[in-house]
Amino acid sequence: MGSVDGRHLDKIMYVEDDPDIRAIAELALQEVGGFTTRLCSSGKEALEVVSEFEPDLIILDVMMPEMDGPQTLKSLRHLPETRLTPVVFMTARIQSSEIEEYLALGAIGVIPKPFDPMTLADDIRRLVKEQVSE
Amino acid sequence: MTNGANIPLHKRLQVLQDRFVERAQGDIQTLCNFADLIDRHHLERNDLVACYQLLHRMAGSAGTFGLPELGAAARVIEKQIKPLAEATEDSVDDKRDAVSVPASLAGAIRKLADLIQNPPQSKDSVAEPANDGEDSFGGTHGMQIHVMALAHSPDYLSGLVAELAVYGFLCDVASFSQPEAAVTRLKEHSGATIIMCVDSELDDVLSFRNENLPKAEHRRFPVVCVGHDGSFESRYRVAARGATAYFCEPLDMPEMAERIESLALERGSRLQGRVLIVDDDKELGEHYSLVLSRAGIKARLVSEPFELMSELSAFEPDLVLMDVQLGGYSGVTLARLIRFEPRWLGLPIVYLSSEDNPENQLDALAKGADEFLVKPVTDDYLVRSVRIRCYRARQLSDLMNRDSLTGLLKHSLIKQEVDKELARCRRSGHPSCVVMLDLDHFKRVNDTWGHGQGDIVIRTLANLLRNRLRETDMIGRYGGEEFLLVLPQCEPRIAAEFIGAIGKSFAELAFGVGDDSFQVTLSAGVASINDFAVADQAIEAADQALYERKHAGRNGVTIYAR
């Protein structure tokens, strides 16, 4: 757990405050993608359940009330279980400067919103694969 | 956690989409309430922030639920509100102070409602490349061309733009005394806007454009100048200052309309094309794709070479941007593979490479690629070079597919469009129409006023149709003075009313020859595509209705009755 070797990518935690997006992402990750998925509605909830769920990868929405995506990532890095867990950001802002900023925080990739539910899982697999080959 | 796992995926997606539409309707209602507050200058600071957040969410989510148009429109407004909202957040003033927001934003917000009441029909699948491909011949109409007259005292130009409005342009008059209102209106339109002025105020207009519009976008806002002095010196002066066109009194309205039309088509952001990026470096490829999409170019990334051929057919790009070395595959060989298929012989392939040795570049060019872009390329350079190449590629394919006089689809291609629409009607059950349209007594026009005037009449009608029809409608030049239209998702009665209104506008146009002028009417026949087994029969029926119209006194529309 923790580091992903590309062959073992099963459990994904998805953190997003918008319930509709959560629902469609659940379909995209679980039904289309075949992952085991745990949904959280806030960064706070994610921090509470992450140790028990032990995700192989975490997807964080950037813009959330109270604790936003980057803040959540920083807190996750303080927990021993998720110190190295790959994180992907999802954002509706598509400025390359921001994307670089997120990558500098230690995310392995950024998925732009709106995402296509039919290809979301592939996009994530590809991000992880590239991470491994680097 | 999963409820109803045995319900098929597409049904469940549909349920979520429906739920999203319901919520978005509520959101739009909330936004419309904000719009009312904007109009009454009662919008408070915290309302503005709430408004921005709603738009941001909509921009990021609508596309996922199959409403990309709504998402894009929300994004446009979000971008305009963002600086206002951010200024508010930093401000120390009371959050309940009223803030000033341009009234045009209220209008733009209300227009969001239209996008959700008539959502695009492809609901069963969120990303369907087949539908995506349908605009390969579109893109030149459905976009009403915006003309804005800018002056210190707008009296003279108001009369002029009113005459231009008859040609189907969206016309506007703005004064220098209210620069903000003018800027907001200019930014509302995604296509090109022609700025019109009198020659004595050209300098003021150009400095207005420099101060208020980003330099990179000046191309979209060409300045057209009107004056009284047609001398060489005067024209030279206007050209030297940077005007794109100059018209001298007395004005030839059809010619002016024609020039504005072609300027807008050339400068509009709609014609920026489709690019397939082939790069195994996903991050870099995605970056290119983002950069191009932000510039309005449709981009798709292929990072697995074996998917290349199927992506080409599905996406039908104007241009391929290819990395020279993709993991174990060679871009040079892939280019050759693309050329195996006759349909892609004319497709421009541009290499992205760090190869700066001219010998090796030449070698690659010999093997099937067209040009090199040497890495690293700046974002700006990438956009500009891709845009120019797409534009050229489009021009070439237009030469092959479009009628040279009118720019409309040629006979054989518009007939194919009828076939395609018939197939779509069968699949989804929606009603669609074909319209056969013909100029009345056109032979007399040619005989009396000469063929040159006849050509102007035909071109003017073509421009009017392009301006008035929807982007989804298809227009072809069928014969000499005959036009064939395909109007998807349209009942015959509505089609007849619509074409009748266009006919009325057309009949009002005066074509001038010296001191004389003449007018031309048109007749049309409408048939419902759904009533026929093959496309030819539907065209035949529209032709039959047109024939009846001609016998019933011309100048009007008849619907085919069995």
Q: Any CB–CB contact under 8 A between A122 and chain B?
A: no
What is the Cα–Cα distance from B10 to B27, expressed in whole angstroms? 25
Active site residue B482: no
Residue with tokens 């109009």: B39
Residue A47 included in any domain? yes
Q: Residue B140 has what pLDDT?
A: 42
Q: How far is A12 from chain B (nearest CA, A)?
A: 14
pLDDT tens sequence for chain B (562 residues): 444 456 677 777 777 888 888 888 888 988 998 888 888 888 888 888 889 888 888 888 888 887 888 888 888 888 888 888 877 766 666 666 778 888 888 888 988 888 876 544 333 333 332 333 333 233 344 556 789 999 988 888 888 888 888 777 888 888 888 888 888 888 877 677 899 999 999 999 999 998 888 877 787 889 999 998 889 989 989 988 889 899 998 888 878 887 887 777 667 644 568 899 998 888 888 888 888 887 778 899 998 888 898 888 888 888 999 888 787 888 888 888 888 887 787 788 888 877 667 776 777 677 666 777 777 777 778 888 888 788 777 767 766 777 777 778 888 788 888 988 888 888 778 899 999 999 999 999 999 988 888 988 998 899 889 888 887 899 999 988 999 999 999 999 999 999 999 999 999 988 888 788 899 999 999 999 999 988 899 999 999 999 999 999 999 999 998 7
Q: Is this complex scored with an ipTM above 0.85?
A: no
Hey, what are B47's tokens? 């309302």
B146 strand-pairing partners: B170, B193
Residue with tokens 């208020």: B212
The count of other CB atoms within 10 Å of the CB of residue B536 is 12
The count of other CB atoms within 10 Å of the CB of residue B20 is 25
Structural domain containing residue A16? 11-129
Binary contact (A114, B61; C-beta < 8 A): yes
Residue A48 included in any domain? yes
What is the Cα–Cα distance from B317 to B299, expressed in whole angstroms? 9
Q: Could you confirm whether domain B273-401 is CATH 3.40.50.2300?
A: yes
The minimal CB distance from A24 to the residues B2, B16, B57 is found for: B16
User: Where do the structural domains in chain B lie, given as residue ranges?
Assistant: 9-131, 146-270, 273-401, 411-559
Please indicate, yes or no, whether the overall pTM of this predicted structure exceeds 0.80: no
Residue with tokens 């102070």: B97
Topology adopted by domain B146-270: Rossmann fold (3.40.50)
Binary contact (A20, B65; C-beta < 8 A): yes
**Tens-digit pLDDT profile for residues B339-372:** 888 778 778 888 887 766 777 677 767 766 677 7
Binary contact (A114, B303; C-beta < 8 A): no
Give chain B positions within 8 Å (CB) of A32: 9
Q: Residue B271 has what pLDDT?
A: 53
Residue with tokens 């959101």: B27
Same fold, B146-270 and B273-401: yes
Q: How far is A1 from chain B (nearest CA, A)?
A: 23
Residue A5 included in any domain? no
- The residue from B78, B261, B417, B481 that is catalytic is B481
Q: Residue B149 has what pLDDT?
A: 93
Which CATH number, 3.20.20.80, 2.40.50.140, 3.20.20.70, 3.30.70.270, labels domain B411-559? Answer: 3.30.70.270
Give chain B positions within 8 Å (CB) of A68: none
CB contact set of B88 (below 8 Å; sequence gap of 6+): B45, B48, B49, B99
DSSP code for B144: P
Hey, what are B268's tokens? 């509009």
**Tens-digit pLDDT profile for residues A84-113:** 899 999 988 766 777 888 888 889 988 988
Residue A4 included in any domain? no
* Number of domains within chain A: 1
Q: At what angle do helices B179-188 and B103-117 cross, to 10 degrees?
A: 20
The minimal CB distance from B2 to the residues A30, A114, A126 is found for: A30
CATH number at residue A86: 3.40.50.2300
Contact B154, B173 (CB under 8 A): yes
